[in-house]
Structure 1
Amino acid sequence: MMSKCTNCPNANGYAFCGMSGEARAFMESNSVYMEYPRGSVLFREGDRPNAIYVMCSGKVKVSVSSQEGRTMILRIAKAGDVLGLSGALDGAEQETTVEALEPVRARVLHLNHLTTMMQQYAEVSLGAAKSMARDYRAAFEEARLVALPSSPAGRIARLILDWAEEARRNSSPFVTMSLTHEEVASMAATTRETVTRTLSRLRKEKVISTRGVALTVLQPNALQRMSAC
């Protein structure tokens, strides 16, 4: 079903989705509604920016690559997030690659319409600033995750705690694991084997439980202690 900006379920708490009805009507009239299957690449690192992507549903991974070909996942973006904004505003090449982890729906707003929208509605400029601030915080948290805990297990524990906190804010009793062990390893700056071994240990010690893609934290204090190691 096509997502309408004027009755968006993400209207509360998200920078672009929380705009006034008039601004959302402009967005709906001047953007293109797109659906992307799992594995689709919305844009790649190094692409010239020509639009922003306002997530309506689904999840994507936002990653960067080194010259040696190593990939690091910076964050997981979801409904309400805005992608490609920094490149759209400064005209520089895209800094990240964005790939769908599951079926994704998004509003694609081309740069000329974004410029017009920002000129006509002051709240859009404020929304852009808020969205970029969220991106900055996410990048900072990823840097903290990689830099501070000394052990790979500590970084994995920190990831699980962060995901559990997000699930709690969304009133979910469990974390939906849409990432492969390889992708978790990319986020935690470790190897797939270490992720598999650590998760197995946590299940065995009943710190977490898993059923399909659902991961439940049973002993948050144990994860906190591990994340400090």
Structure 2
Amino acid sequence: MAKTANRQPQQLQLSLEGIAILTGLSPEARERLQKRCTWRRCRPGDPIVSYLDASDDVFFIVEGEVRVTIYSVAGRAVSFRSLGPGEVFGEYPAIDGGPRSASVEAARSSLIASIPAAAFQELLQTEPKVAQALLPQLVTKIRALTTRVYEFSTLAVNNRIQAELLRLASLGTRQGKAAQIVPAPTHVEIASRVSTHREAVTRELNRLSRIGIIERKRGALLVKDVDRLAEMVHEATGE
């Protein structure tokens, strides 16, 4: 397992209160769990877990953002998703005993709490509300991966880029027909998400800008007409 600084962060409230799957815990149970956690502050780019390693800790994102990626032998990054505050990762090996399904690294300065697989399994057994909260999250991940497999198998590159922008817009701040994606993803990041190269992303984003769908604005990417972008994706997918 990749090493990052694991000293107890100073002058920070080490709380799991914002973790979505733990909202059903009593304050006393949450405090007990917090005391069992290892806490670490990760800098942007710090590795947290590595693809196929045998570690089995489960991680809670208290602050910041992490990126889930697999690197090819040639070093090409294939990004699956980004995760933010309140989310959990690393639960697959704790559930099935298998190796890591992807690498995870910090995308921004992040505060991460972790517990061993045995402690996570005990939590699921003794706190049914946590297990009930985890199940919908696992289903959501499966649905998202199914959609991406479908897109990779059937859509042209420009349509995959459009679909990724629509996903990002759905997570952004909505203002009428527009949505703001902050921070703006780089062309390389989008390319790694849709299995293409940076030049193809640049061409499509320039085209979408010319026809008034998107606009770069002060470090953000503004999708000026989310409904129109959705129609373009619908035409390509039939969904």
With the length of structure 1 as denominator, give the TM-score of the two structures. 0.85
Spell out, residue by residue over 1:31-66, the C-alpha distance to the aligned partner (whole angstroms, 9 max, x if none).
122211100111011111231111112222112345
Q: Identical aligned pairs, as a percentage?
A: 23
SS, match of residue 5 in structure 1: coil
Q: Kindly indicate whether residue 175 of structure 2 is the aligned counterpart of residue 165 of structure 1.
A: no
Taking a change above 3 Å as real, the CA distance of residues 116 and 224 of structure 1, as seen in their structure-2 partners, is: closer
Per-residue deviation at 1:120? 2.5
Per-residue deviation at 1:69? 5.1
Q: How does 1:28-67 map to 2 (within 5 A)?
A: 28-66=34-72
Structure 1 match to 2:3: none
Runs of 4+, deviation exceeding 6 Å: none
Spell out, residue by residue over 1:105-124, the C-alpha distance to the aligned partner (whole angstroms, 9 max, x if none).
22111223223323332223
Per-residue deviation at 1:104? 1.4
Query: Structure 2: how far apart are the matches of 1:17 and 1:142?
Result: 30
Query: Structure 2: how far apart are the matches of 1:18 and 1:199?
Result: 42
Q: Kindly indicate whether residue 33 of structure 2 is the aligned counterpart of residue 27 of structure 1.
A: yes
Query: Structure 2: how far apart are the matches of 1:79 and 1:17?
Result: 14
Q: Identify which range, 219-228 or 85-94, moves more after superposition.
A: 219-228
Taking a change above 3 Å as real, the CA distance of residues 224 and 128 of structure 1, as seen in their structure-2 partners, is: closer
Per-residue deviation at 1:3? 4.1
Query: Structure 1: how far apart are the matches of 2:86 and 2:122?
Result: 21
Per-residue deviation at 1:179? 3.5
Taking a change above 3 Å as real, the CA distance of residues 110 and 102 of structure 1, as seen in their structure-2 partners, is: same
Structure 2 match to 1:5: 15
Spell out, residue by residue over 1:191-210, the C-alpha distance to the aligned partner (whole angstroms, 9 max, x if none).
10011121122222221111
Counterpart code for 2:165: I
Per-residue deviation at 1:30? 0.9
Per-residue deviation at 1:220? 2.3
| Structure 1: stretches of 5+ with no match in the other structure | none
Counterpart code for 1:130: P
SS, match of residue 169 in structure 2: helix
SS, match of residue 62 in structure 2: strand
Contact between 1:86 and 1:132, CA under 8 Å: does it hold in 2? no
207, 212, 215: which one pairs with 2:213?
A: 207
Per-residue deviation at 1:173? 4.6
SS, match of residue 48 in structure 1: coil
Per-residue deviation at 1:154? 1.1
| Structure 2: stretches of 5+ with no match in the other structure | 1-10
Query: Structure 2: how far apart are the matches of 1:214 and 1:167?
Result: 10
Query: Structure 2: how far apart are the matches of 1:176 and 1:80?
Result: 18
Contact between 2:66 and 2:82, CA under 8 Å: does it hold in 1? yes
Query: Structure 1: how far apart are the matches of 2:143 and 2:172?
Result: 18
Q: How does 1:38-187 map to 2 (within 5 A)?
A: 38-66=44-72, 70-149=76-155, 151-168=156-173, 173-177=179-183, 179-187=185-193
Contact between 1:161 and 1:223, CA under 8 Å: does it hold in 2? yes
Spell out, residue by residue over 1:144-182, the C-alpha distance to the aligned partner (whole angstroms, 9 max, x if none).
332343x2111111111111112247x995111354311
Query: Structure 1: how far apart are the matches of 2:130 and 2:55?
Result: 19
Query: Structure 1: how far apart are the matches of 2:151 and 2:21?
Result: 25
Contact between 2:170 and 2:179, CA under 8 Å: does it hold in 1? no
Name the count of aligned residue pairs: 224
Per-residue deviation at 1:27? 2.1
